[in-house]
Structure 1
């Protein structure tokens, strides 16, 4: 599995564990909802800055999203 797919699966799993919609999560992360959708489907290759934004609402280290 490539890193973008792994990131997307981890983001989706954590988001669903919190019970957040993509829109709720996007608001918390400060990014657009369609970008979250693309990330979850592995169709985006986000920058390290975006990976950090994705991690903050989950209170995890950015690297944990890539494991």
Structure 2
């Protein structure tokens, strides 16, 4: 999978920037033969080679190795503030549970790092100011 992602990324970069293997390899300070092997998924590059690719294409390692659609899918790892508490009637009053800002699920515990339903990373900094959602009659 790693080689497939890297190969696809290198091929897309060359195509988008209208670069031949020779021009791209020169930009990345690699031999054209080795660069072509990487682009075809036939060579396993070292960390130093990955660094050369990143410098040559002016990209971060994440931008080079992770396809854009996957990168969008993992953006939920950026913390979102928990701003709501959903209340339920309990034996002798009300009890409240935090609400995930991404999926809207009621979470069982306060101050957990990720939502146990959707995986959203949570920010609890302003939880004391969270809106209270009262139960409907």
Give the structure-1-normalised TM-score. 0.90
Q: Which structure shows the bigger proportion of residues in helix conformation? A: 1
Identify the structure with the greater strand proportion: 2
Measure the CA separation in 2 of the matches of 1:64 and 1:46: 16
Shift of the alpha carbon at 1:63? Answer: 2.7
Alpha-carbon distance in 1 for matches of 2:59, 2:47: 14
Aligned residues: 66
The answer for unaligned runs of 5 or more in structure 1 is none
The reply to whether residue 40 of structure 1 matches residue 39 of structure 2 is yes
- Give the structure 2 partner of residue 26 of structure 1: 25
TM-score normalised per structure 2: 0.46
Question: Which gives a bigger RCO, structure 1 or 2 (Cα 8 Å, sep 6+)?
Answer: 1
State the match for 2:54 in structure 1.
55
Asked if the contact 1:3/1:66 (under 8 Å) is kept, the reply is: yes
Larger Rg over CA atoms: 2
- Unaligned residue ranges in structure 2 (runs of 5+): 67-137
CA offsets, 1:14-48, max 9 Å, x none?
A: 11111110000111111001111111111111011
Q: Tell me, in whole angstroms, the C-alpha distance in 2 between the residues paired with 1:48 and 1:63.
A: 13
- RMSD of the alignment, in Å? 1.0
1:57 is displaced (CA, Å) by 2.1
Displacement over 6 Å in runs of 4+: none
